[in-house]
Structure 1
Amino acid sequence: MIIESHSHWAVGHVSGFSVRVFKRGRVTKAFRTYHELAERMADYPILDEMDYSNRECEATFENIEHAAWRLKREYDLPENWQDETYSWLSDNRPNSLENTDDQGGWPDDDDLTAAFEALGYERVE
């Protein structure tokens, strides 16, 4: 397999890879593997559901931190606030954690405020 990158001023940029199909008149192991993966992905686009789920969860945890950038200054948050907030949202407002774009869930300010209030986090004066 060879990683390739090509660009043209009129049509843009493309990155990908090339796989040798035949070597000495026989189909290569690399191409057989590629073909098997391509067939699996044609049926269902996720090769490893557990890995995808883990990445989705990790992204959601990171997104909670980023989504709360403004609200974090308004509350006295404990060290493990992301875990508690995730758990509360999961139990009470699961739609706020829904992954709609393969980038993890992104709760809005209303959902985060509801979680902070329900978890008893005090507002900073």
Structure 2
Amino acid sequence: MLDRPEVDFPDGEPPSDLEITDLHVGAGSPAAAGAEVTVHYVGVEFETGEEFDASWNRGQPVNFPLRGLIQGWQDGIPGMREGGRRRLVVPPHLAYGPPGSGHRLAGKTLIFVIDLLNVR
């Protein structure tokens, strides 16, 4: 397993489209759309660089069905292989929607560094 990632403070303007960057390509099974995945992740706000959530802080990975996650994860995780680490930069329309739509992260571009541990 990889060590907890450090998320570098981004440069420039936030993207309007989902950005997917493989930081480490895994050798295991690939995730398919709609799969159930076990991941470790860190999430930070693009504009401030402030961490808003991390499974690493709870000391254990989390298990999710991709269908239940934000669109940026549903679009950004398929094709990723077990053992891999991927960086997703997710604009608001693929995260929690426009400002004022009810979620504390609404209107924000988010950066996630995701380690894919298992695919089911």
Larger radius of gyration: 1
- TM-score (normalizing by structure 2): 0.27
- TM-score (normalizing by structure 1): 0.27
- The answer to which structure has the higher strand fraction is 2
- The answer to which structure has the higher helix fraction is 1
Higher relative contact order (CA 8 A, sep 6+): 2
